[in-house]
Amino acid sequence: MHAPLAKTSATHVRSMREAAWPWRATAVVLAIVLLAPLLVIDVPPLSDYPNHLARFFILAHPDDPVLSKMYAPHWTILPNLGMDVIGAGLLRITDPHTGGRILLALSLLAPVGGAVVYHRVAFGCRSYWPLASGLVAYNAAFFMGFMNFLLSLGLALVGAAAWIALRRRQRSGWKTLAGASAAVATFFTHIFGLAFLFLLIGAEEAAELRNRWSSGTVTARDFMKAAIPILIALAPAIVLYRLSPFGDTATSLGAWHAIVKLMRLFSAFTIPSMDLTIVTAVAVIVALVAMRRHLAFAPGLPLAIAVLAVVYIAAPVRMKGGSYIDLRAAVMIALLLFAGVQPRIARREAMMFGVVFAALILVRSAYVAATWIESRDDLADLRAAIAGVEPGARVLVATGSSRERTMAPPARRTLPGVYRLTYHLPALLLIDRRAFWPLLFADPAQQPVSILPPFDRMSHPLTEPVDWKVLANATFSAETLRWSRYLVDWRADFDYVLLIDPKPGFQAVEKLSPLHDGEFAKLYRIDR
């Protein structure tokens, strides 16, 4: 009796493994295609990334004889520590640019991996559909260098998947513990990831309550069983938030712009090519519309997407130190369309959509790689410009291209309709030359690095390089100094001025001696 049963079980296991092999091969190929562009350049032009990398470098080398006079690690409870902790450890054993690209690979693949895990738990089966989230791996948030945010999305999806799996097994205690652990992990990675986690958990519990309400079996006890575990799981994150300096910062709201909302509508698909951005978005929309009668949704998914849609529409440009809230909401929505949706269509249709999506993923990655190959000229020009800067020198950075020029050529320097990608490349001054520049991300309410006197009065975290034209002014307006306080006595405080991304025909500034005159980067010595 037992031998045939054992033989049947072995046959079943073998058939399951054989069925899983093509899916696993596809997942491996997807990862290779997505990561390939990271091999063509050592510093990809992703807006905030070089600035983050410079901070990781400081944290990894706290005893550097030059940098330790300017900066000091300042570890405390903060909601943006994920990549700092990993980066500080990784850059101790790798060179900064190898370690940096490993961190980029992690932030690139984390949302895709999270979508796959969430989908598997939500629908109880392995599917190719969540692998199509590779279409949104390269998105506006990635090109903006929002590494912690992207990592937190992956953690939130995995944490929500664990909650769902344990709830279905009626393991209330383990479910609450998993939720609390995920809450702590996402809190220390990014505050938006924490919100995403509890949106998914809350939507799942709300869907279950709605089912019970529809069947007439819901009780007050059911509401308590849903709410209490969520509150317990959220409690550690609330405590951490109140203990962090971030929790003490004032809540400030930025402006709301309708045109900005329209331009960021396809943020989840945005790459430096506007054409590929639109084609990808249209392809996904057309596929979903074509399959609309054959789509299964994870419990609570419509509610989660509806909430994120409201956030996208209503959110101001900036709130309590957080920026690009609508852009982040758009990325979350697109990710859920792959994580929480299961098409149930014929094999022939599935193959057709699969081929189209695979081709788009390949073309998008190839375009990114080609763009980054072109960017190597800008990077080489910048390195040539700063090659003679001495360790410990103080370098003011200016730009010839303001944020309004988000569509101006060349394409490799812009994220269409969103931002220019070049502003923080001068962070290489710190990494490659051990020089000081005033724009390091070192806000004590957000980053674990402090700037030491007298350099603190010559710095301004979380802002952009000053417009080159401003340097020609004898005095500065209060609005200018609000965002560039280091200009008060810049000729005395700094040794050099580095101009990046200049406009054609820009005007010279008096008492600056040219040292390097490149197409992308120009270096000047300040005449005393």
CA separation for the pair 256, 153 (Å, rounded): 25
Structure tokens at 428: 């290489």
- DSSP characters over 361-385: HHHHHHHHHHHHHHHHHHHHHHHHH
Q: Mind listing the pLDDT tens digit for each residue in 109-152?
A: 999 999 999 999 999 999 999 999 999 999 999 999 999 999 99
CA torsion, ordered 475, 476, 478, 482, to nearest 10 deg? -140
Kindly write down the DSSP assignment for every residue of 429-498, as one continuous string: HHHHH--B-TT----TTT-SEEEPTTGGGG--SS--PEEGGGGG-SS--HHHHHH-GGGTTHHHH-SEEE
| 465 touches 396 (CB < 8 A) | no
- The pLDDT of residue 139 is 97
pLDDT reported for residue 417 = 81
pLDDT digits (tens, 9 = 90+) for 172-199: 889 999 999 999 999 999 999 999 999 9
* Interval 184-237: pLDDT, tens: 999 999 999 999 999 999 999 998 888 888 887 878 887 888 899 999 999 999
Rounded to two decimals, the pTM is: 0.92
pLDDT at residue 216 in the model: 79
Q: CA–CA separation, 498 vs 377, rounded Å?
A: 17
* In the chain, % of residues over pLDDT 70: 92
- Mean pLDDT of the region 337-353: 93
pLDDT, tens only, 153-167: 999 999 999 999 998
Distance CA 352, CA 357 (A): 9
User: What does the mean pLDDT of the chain come to?
Assistant: 90
**Amino acid at the residue 424:** H
Q: Residues 49, 100: contact at Cβ < 8 Å? A: yes
